[in-house]
Amino acid sequence: MVNRDNVLGSQSTLCRLENRMDRKAMIDIHQVFLQQFIASFSTPPEELILDFDATDDPTHGRQENTFYHGYYRHYCFLPLYVFCNDQLLVSYLRRSNQDGAKHSGAILKLLVDALRKQWPTVRILFRADGGFCRRRLLSWCERNEVGYIVGYTRNSCLMGLIEERFTQTQRRFDETQQKQRDFMGLDYGAKTWDKTRRIITKLEVTDKGSNPRFIVTNFTGEAQTLYDEIYCARGNMEKRIKEQQLGLFADRTSAHEWWANQFRLLLSSLGYILLESIRRLALKGIELEKAQASTIRLKLLKIGAIILRNTRRIRFLLSSHSLIRTCSGRWLQSFTPDKT
């Protein structure tokens, strides 16, 4: 018989769960991400654009694998996110004392293999900023028929190649004092590359100064169209990361153990997938269709209500100003016990 007077207090159930996590559990949870993504399509997609990006996750204390990051100027983790439009595919916690593109090639390969296994004819495009422009990654995309459009860091050689055209853009600004934009494409081969690749240049001059930008791509087409309509669209992913960090508390990685923090990041990601599914399926065509996760949580989920149940139906009594009340005709109705 247990002497209850001598039983010590234990950690909370969630804390014990966090500290039991390991690499296999993280892989299994990411499989759920992929399964949910595939299930969201009723017909095979023709094209998928995979957006890769990293962000800082500040740490406060002596968590495992926390390091100082020179760019962000604080101690942090450096999680890698992969989105396809608004849908999350990967949220992978990483140390910050390594290349920001670390493991992105392996993750891209796993995703491409899994997606092509499901949809053999789908076109896949890899899109990222200059932090992911790596020779081996570009070469792998070319060998495996994956399109790419990736930022490229300016250098003296590229600036020399665009000097004449850029001078003309600067002259037009001096004459009009209005913002000037021009685009050009050129073939360029870095010393570490085994071939030349297409570089697209945006030549921009404003009252705040000059702002030339470069991207490398294996796509054909008009330079301005590729830059404005395809590359710049990756800015949507930054909004989704902001939702994760601010609206769903993905930065609450304050546990000491590494795998516990990875699990916390995945819990936040599962919350995002749930809210994104609600937004895409249940809120389509109404006021909250494009709402941020924090707005959906505050206006749709964190609400007060009175629930009355009898043998015939369940009634939700809501405030007259509740958004759920305005949507009741679509997806919140009285329903009988056998449907609950």
Q: pLDDT at position 340, please?
A: 39
Q: Angle between the 104-118 and 23-39 helix axes, to the nearest 10 degrees?
A: 40
Q: pLDDT at position 3, please?
A: 58
> pLDDT tens-digit profile of 126-165?
999 999 999 999 999 999 999 999 999 999 999 999 999 9
Strands 80-84, 47-54: parallel, antiparallel or unpaired by DSSP? antiparallel
- Classified as helix, coil or strand, 283 is coil
Q: pLDDT at position 125, please?
A: 97
What pTM, to 2 d.p., does this model score? 0.85
Residue scoring higher pLDDT (61 or 117): 117
Judge if 46 and 119 occupy the same domain: yes
What's the CA gap between 190 and 155, in Å, rounded?
10
Over range 55-72, report the average pLDDT: 92
Closest CA to 174 of 202, 201, 203, 209: 209
Residues 6 or more apart whose Cβ sits within 8 Å of residue 245: 55, 57, 251
Please give the single-letter amino acid code of residue 216. V
In a domain, 207, yes or no: no
Judge if 109 and 224 occupy the same domain: yes
Q: pLDDT at position 7, please?
A: 54
Residue 298 — pLDDT band, cuts 50, 70, 90? confident
Residue 335 — pLDDT band, cuts 50, 70, 90? very low
pLDDT greater than 60 at residue 260: yes
Over range 199-206, report the average pLDDT: 94
- The structure tokens 């296999």 sit at 24
pLDDT greater than 90 at residue 220: no
Over range 243-272, report the average pLDDT: 91
Judge if 86 and 25 occupy the same domain: yes
Domain residue limits at 225: 12-154+212-282
Strands 197-206, 180-188: parallel, antiparallel or unpaired by DSSP? antiparallel
The H or E element containing residue 15 is: helix 13-18
Q: pLDDT at position 282, please?
A: 86
In a domain, 3, yes or no: no
Over range 179-188, report the average pLDDT: 92
Q: pLDDT at position 187, please?
A: 92
pLDDT greater than 50 at residue 69: yes
pLDDT greater than 50 at residue 226: yes
pLDDT greater than 90 at residue 204: yes
Q: What is the mean pLDDT of the chain?
A: 88
In a domain, 112, yes or no: yes
Domain count, the chain: 2
In a domain, 247, yes or no: yes
Q: Among residues of the chain, what percentage have pLDDT more than 70?
A: 90
The H or E element containing residue 14 is: helix 13-18
What's the CA gap between 287 and 143, in Å, rounded?
45
Judge if 273 and 307 occupy the same domain: no
Judge if 317 and 230 occupy the same domain: no
Q: pLDDT at position 10, please?
A: 57
Judge if 28 and 107 occupy the same domain: yes
In a domain, 160, yes or no: no
Judge if 149 and 72 occupy the same domain: yes
> pLDDT tens-digit profile of 300-309?
777 778 889 8
Judge if 128 and 224 occupy the same domain: yes
CATH code of the domain covering residue 239: 3.30.420.10
Beta strand segments in the chain, E: 47-54, 57-58, 67-69, 74-77, 80-84, 87-92, 123-128, 147-152, 180-188, 197-206, 209-210, 213-217, 306-309, 314-317
In a domain, 54, yes or no: yes
- Residues facing residue 69 across a β-bridge: 74
In a domain, 192, yes or no: no
pLDDT greater than 90 at residue 322: no
Strands 197-206, 209-210: parallel, antiparallel or unpaired by DSSP? antiparallel
Range 288-302 burial, b when 16+ CB lie within 10 A, else e: beebbbebbeeebee
